[in-house]
Structure 1
């Protein structure tokens, strides 16, 4: 009987150690509530901001890389390089903000960028036109997200959004000039 209790105790201890190791990545320990319950320190507004802007910025970078490789227009290639650099910085800052708020980025269910049907074999003029239009649409939505979060109660997110918003608006104006 005592051996059964000892075996049960050792099994329970091993199970706890195994479950605890699932939340440890290197020297960083993440709260189990983040993995099991998706509990974060972010309010709904900040959570939506982080996830939405991360997804759109990732898509913008991927599309910009395609246009940089296949495009012919110097203006569009310049825009693609500029947006790729700009959104690369945004992604790194969003990752920092997400770490502070215990938000998983990239979200495990996040979709990856794919060219829509027909664009993979489309001519460069069509690809560049679609890129500029899609980029403008994404920029408008990203600016909308940044405007929403400028009034957020979390100071680090609020300050970052206030700093970056004028830069994003200027880039949007440059993109509109290409249409």
Structure 2
């Protein structure tokens, strides 16, 4: 028998009970995911909840819970189904945790949005203060250029960034 996992697909909501469209989205996503997971023999949808986020009580979320057997294949299938069906793929987060264990969920997917100020080849120039080892304009510390690039990639596509290093005395 293969190992089981809990998988949750999370959509942000504007209110605790959601709108009429949120309720429609919930029903359709549950229907499509359940059919897809069962057809692929990867698991099934186990239920949902709507309400306040545990991590931030000022925010609301729709959580759709699934029981799956293969983590990577299930995540790929769910992403494909939500994207192909146009079910607000750009707003989802997907997390998993081992089934039957009281652990915390591990985030496996969160759609990255490109900030509007970086669209259309806008160039961001970063000045790196090598001697102080700080990310200019912020409080992020780094050890080397690789860490800085990883930090930048989390916010913008690397093709939009130009790094200017100060001359070393």
Structure 1 length-normalised TM:
0.29
The structure that is strand-richer by fraction is: 2
The structure that is helix-richer by fraction is: 1
Q: Which has the larger radius of gyration?
A: 1
Structure 2 length-normalised TM:
0.30
